[in-house]
Structure 1
Amino acid sequence: MSCSGCSNAVNRVLQKKEGVTSVDIDLEKQSVLVKTDDAVSYDDVLATIAKTGKKVNGGQVIA
C-alpha cells in the first residue's frame, strides 16, 4: 500500500467483513493490524485483503 486510495480499499473490505472488530492501517510501515472475533481465521483475513488486489507479504496471529 503506497497511497491512501490503496489503504482505503483495504480498510473498506475489512470493515465489511463480519467478525472484524477493528482495523488499524499504517501507510508509513505499510502494515495493517486486524482484530477479529474467534470466528474469523487468518486465511479469511488474507482472502479478504486479496480481493483488493494487494499482496500480503507476511503476517502473524496473536492470541
Structure 2
Amino acid sequence: MTTHEFFVDMTCEGCSGAVTRVLNKLDVKFDIDLPNKKVFIESDKNTDVLLETLKKTGKTVTYIGTK
C-alpha cells in the first residue's frame, strides 16, 4: 500500500469535509492535515484517479509525491 501526498487548497472545516466526502466514495484510507493544506491517501489506485477525485471538490490540487 502506497501513501500519496497531495496539496489541497483548504481553508476551513467545510473544505476538509468536501475532501472527506469525495474520498469516502473511493474506499481508501486517508488523513487530512488542514493547517498545512495536505491530504495523505493510502491506496494502490492510480495517482491520476486520486487527483481527479480530489479535484471534484473544486479546490486547487497538486500531487506532491509518495511518502
* Superposed displacement of residue 11, structure 1: 1.1
Number of equivalent positions:
58
Q: Which has the higher contact order (CA 8 A, sep 6+)?
A: 2
Normalised by the length of structure 2, the TM-score is: 0.77
Q: Return the structure number with greater strand share.
A: 2
- RMSD over aligned CA atoms reads 1.2
Runs of 4+ in 1 over 4 A off after TM superposition: none
Q: Which residue of 1 aligns with 2:55?
A: 50
Structure with the greater alpha carbon radius of gyration: 1
Q: Could you report, residue by residue, the CA deviation over 1:13-57 in whole angstroms, capped at 9, with x for unpaired residues?
A: 011114x2x110011111000001x3x111100000011101113
Q: Which residue of 2 aligns with 1:35?
A: 42
**Sequence identity percentage:** 45
* Superposed displacement of residue 58, structure 1: 3.3
Any idea what SS the aligned residue of 1:25 has?
A: strand
Which structure 1 segments of 5+ residues have no match? none
Which structure 2 segments of 5+ residues have no match? 1-9
